[in-house]
Amino acid sequence: MRISRIETFLVPPRWLFVRVETDSGIVGWGEPVVEGRSETVRTAVEQLSELLIGADPLRIEDLWQVMTKGSFYRGGAILASAVAGLDQALWDIHGKSLGVPVHQLLGGHVRDRIRMYGWIGGDEPAEIADAVEAQMAVGLTAVKMNASGRMSPLGSVAEIDEVVERVAAAREVLGPHRDVAVDFHGRFTLANTRRVAPLLEPLRPLFLEEPTVPENSHLIGGLTRSTSIPIATGERLYNRQEFLPVLQAGIAVAQPDLSHAGGITEVRKIASLAEIYDVQLAPHCPLGPLALAACLQVGFATTNFLIQEQSIGIHYNQGAEVLDYVLDKTPLKFVNGSVERLTAPGLGIEIDEAAVRRVDKAGHAWRSPIWRHDDGSYAEW
């Protein structure tokens, strides 16, 4: 069996899919995307395809090594994401060729279901409460929320109080048996994080996510030592080498993205490294169905797996939803706040190829917003 064709599709609202075809007729799908840079990743996939056409798709580790280390310049979000989507597609092919789900190829399942969480928004406590209730209504037992929008370098009393009020509103609805995670999104300076974290401790968040931008990961050790709240990070870290310092600094939750951090092949290695540091895995995934399916396949076979993010209903998804491009939505439905073990071959979902080809004709041009403070200076997004 050899790889015969590789195609990419710009899929609204902000995704990129890749289709890898073999001469035996088996097709694998993946999701190589950097949000807001889909066209750039598309070009990277096309260049990497030169290395894959004619190759044996079952030699996944060898092809991963060639794609990541076969040129003098390596790494970065664009290349790692292009590799990630192609890697997902190769695992999809391998599973389909043997008639088994990917998690069986990873050593077999260690759990029967994976707990899911959903994103909530809203600037006012009343809006937060309504959003939490909506997620509970679909059966979820955990949510994640942004701590704030734009945040001053040294937050005012009002800005700090508003963060606490928002999380408190979520906790009041959730009660003691459900969870809320709080995403700082890299928008806080170290000083702001140190001020806010102690105030949130009585509300017992599941974790505080990305309390500093990834280029300041050397500061995380001071945060992990200064608060009892578990610290999570990793959506903008792309390999084991980048995760090692934050693991050594004492984070509690590693959050690699299956569409950014080298795909299934690399994230499994990140999970194994994290286990050495008693750190749980909770993959970042505000993306489409292929990224979600890849996350779940890893989760079913990974002992130190905590919880899975998903973006059904997220505010980014305007004009299309996660399940719009899946022929059978049943495998990804929530059952008591979880997704049951996927049993179909490969990634475990079937893409509606006709729909994907149709929307690719129009494509999309989603871009990250640019934020500025009141004085006109750039604000972290």
Helices (H), ranges, 285-331: 289-300
The active-site residue, picked from 94, 103, 109, 185, is 185
- Can you tell me the distance from the alpha carbon of 340 to that of 352, in angstroms, rounded to the nearest whole number? 22
Phi, psi of 22 (to 5 degrees): -115, 165
Residue 29 near residue 290 (C-beta atoms within 8 A)? yes
Tell me the CB-side half-sphere exposure of residue 36, using CA atoms within 13 A: 8
The active-site residue, picked from 284, 315, 364, 373, is 284
Task: Classify strands 308-309 and 3-11 as parallel, antiparallel or unpaired.
Answer: unpaired
**Would residue 185 show up in a list of annotated catalytic residues for this protein?**
yes
**Would residue 177 show up in a list of annotated catalytic residues for this protein?**
no
Closest CA to 261 of 113, 125, 144, 88: 88
Structure tokens at 220: 């995380």
Give 35's contacts (C-beta < 8 A, 6+ positions apart).
14, 286, 287, 316, 366, 368
**Rg of the chain in Å (alpha carbons):** 20
Burial of 318 (0-12, 13-18, 19+ CB in 10 A): exposed
Phi, psi of 371 (to 5 degrees): -105, 145
Amino acid at 220: I
Which residues belong to the active site?
Answer: 185, 284
